[in-house]
A = this chain, B = another copy of it.
Amino acid sequence: MENITSKNNEKIKSAIAIRDSASQRKKNGKFFLEGARLCGDAAISGGDILQFFFTEKARAKFPEFFEKILSSAGESYCISEEVSRKLSDTQSPQGMFCVCKTGDKNISADKINHNGKYILLENVQDPSNLGAVARTAEAMGVDGLIVSGGCDIYNPKALRACMGAFFRLNIIECGDIIRFIKSAQAKGMKAFASTPDSEAVKITEVDFSGGVICIVGNEGNGVTCETMSAADAKITIPMQGRAESLNASTAAAILIWEMVRRGA
């Protein structure tokens, strides 16, 4: 097992590039994880761990996670505290980091469960929102989280916010969102686009039975006009206050809750 003590080590520099840049993640098909629990979740849930970086301290502090990650990882490196601080995105690094393979999450709408419940995020930008929705979707037992190209699900902040749900959740990337929706509809599924527009159908009046895809849009702009047009209906969460809209992850949570609760 190799030791790394230099912050300028090529493997460290390349891990940092993966951590910091969405385009590097896309180009290399890799993503970066930090934290004993999150790296452990990746190992337990069959994530494809290419590289594992750990400090001696972390090895001693999290022996259980350490063993699991070590046995799953392609390559493992013992790093100095200084290198750990360099790799870390947080104030108090735990000293465990992984670089994983993204894998191919592009699945055609023909191959999903046509009686299932799915939440689709279109261009949701805030990584904390992405992570929060993944966490809720997994907890509520949806059949999958579908993300459009504009959602950076491998962002380190998103991965931290989802608390490991990422590895247990069926995540699907759709290249062409309109085509995905139309294929799903051809298989008998319904697609509902959410909007703060109070003229839309209230979610309390929506029939969530059968195969359903609920769509939540970008924080500022909502669901795009094209996607809205492709949907079977525009739906809305009734509001009583003077707020113009709900936070995207809050809206998604209430939609998921209603879809799963009433659509069973």
Contacts and interface: CB of A to CB of B under 8 A. Distances in A.
A241 B132 contact: no
A28 interface: no
A155 to B, nearest CB: 16
B204 A250 contact: no
Interface string A95-117: 00000000000000000000000
Interface of A: 128, 132, 135-136, 138-141, 161, 163, 165, 168-169, 204, 237, 239-243, 245-247, 249-250, 253-254, 257, 260-261
Given A132-B247, A204-B261, A247-B132, A139 B254 contact: no
A170 to B, nearest CB: 11
B139 A241 contact: yes
A214 to B, nearest CB: 15
Contacts of A241: 138-141, 165, 168-169
A136 B246 contact: yes
Given A136-B246, A169-B241, 20 more contacts: A128-B128, A132-B249, A135-B243, A135-B246, A135-B250, A136-B247, A136-B250, A139-B240, A139-B243, A140-B240, A140-B241, A141-B241, A165-B243, A237-B257, A249-B249, A249-B250, A250-B250, A250-B253, A253-B254, A254-B257
Contacts of A169: 241
Contacts of A253: 246, 250, 253-254
- List of 9 A-B pairs having minimum Cβ-Cβ separation, nearest first: A141-B240, A139-B243, A138-B241, A139-B239, A250-B253, A139-B241, A254-B257, A253-B253, A136-B250
> How many copies of this chain?
2
A242 to B, nearest CB: 5
B168 A242 contact: yes
B261 A132 contact: no
Given A135-B247, A136-B247, A141 B239 contact: yes
A138 B241 CA distance: 5
A204 B140 CA distance: 14
20 contacts: A132-B247, A135-B243, A135-B250, A136-B247, A138-B243, A139-B245, A140-B239, A141-B240, A161-B247, A163-B243, A165-B241, A165-B243, A168-B242, A168-B243, A240-B260, A249-B249, A250-B250, A253-B254, A254-B254, A254-B257
